Amino acid sequence: MDCRIKSGNDGLANEQEQRESDKMPEITISMAAGRTDEQKAGMMRDITQALVKNLGVDADAVVIQINEAPLAHKMKGGKTFVERAAAAKK
């Protein structure tokens, strides 16, 4: 899973816009497909609460997006995740 935090936008018009955008963190999570909607929602809730606690932002300001790749489209160690799962069953 890869997690990147984007806080604000590049090239904002003025300092006030920059200060306000710093309060709206955007989190993008890249991961292999296969988790349930409940697992993903729980993870996003936990991340939201971590940002509220550690960054002092309102939960309503936190945006989280999950980008999922099919297991056949994600590779580690020269094998797709489908190939790795098949090898693990042998």
> 70 catalytic, yes or no?
no
How far is residue 68's CA from residue 90's CA, in Å, rounded to a whole number? Answer: 26
- Selected catalytic residue, list 6, 17, 25, 76: 25
- Maximum Cα–Cα distance for the chain, whole Å? 59
Q: Which sequence positions are flagged as catalytic?
A: 25
